[in-house]
Amino acid sequence: MPKAPNTEVGRRIFLLRRLNAVEEALRAIRTRLGSEWKELSSSDRTLLNEILGNVWTETGGETWDSIHFSRLSAADLYRIIDIARSIHSGEITELEGTETTVRILTGTV
């Protein structure tokens, strides 16, 4: 089996850390929302997963760790999903959407 270059190993570690952090956040959100979580479509869940991944990448550990995902309201969740839709449709840039999402998650909106 050929050895992977160090950059490839680093990239894989980064992606695994992001995946784990986002999964943990989604677990907290799911628990908080209870039955409301089931009302989200699979595309809404995918959009949420993507934008949370962007937030994790942009914020770094300290900011991410300070976010209380278990306190996220359903209204805020839907706002974040709408932002993710706006990114996908090209209405706003990924950076604008991510920054707005960070402000929602940190309570600075």
Q: How many domains does the chain have?
A: 1
Q: What pLDDT is attached to residue 79?
A: 98
Question: Does residue 32 sit within a domain?
Answer: yes
Question: Does residue 51 sit within a domain?
Answer: yes
Question: Does residue 68 sit within a domain?
Answer: yes
Q: What pLDDT is attached to residue 2?
A: 64
Question: Does residue 47 sit within a domain?
Answer: yes
Q: Yes or no: say if 88 and 56 are a contact pair by the CB < 8 Å rule.
A: no
**pLDDT per 10-residue tile (average), the chain, 109 residues:** 76 93 97 94 97 94 92 95 98 97 91
Token readout for 36 is: 């409301």
Q: Alpha-carbon torsion 80, 86, 91, 95, what sign?
A: positive
pTM: predicted TM-score of the whole model, two decimal places: 0.89
Question: Does residue 99 sit within a domain?
Answer: yes
Closest CA to 84 of 46, 57, 58, 37: 46
Range of the domain at 48: 6-106
Q: What pLDDT is attached to residue 8?
A: 86
Q: What pLDDT is attached to residue 108?
A: 83
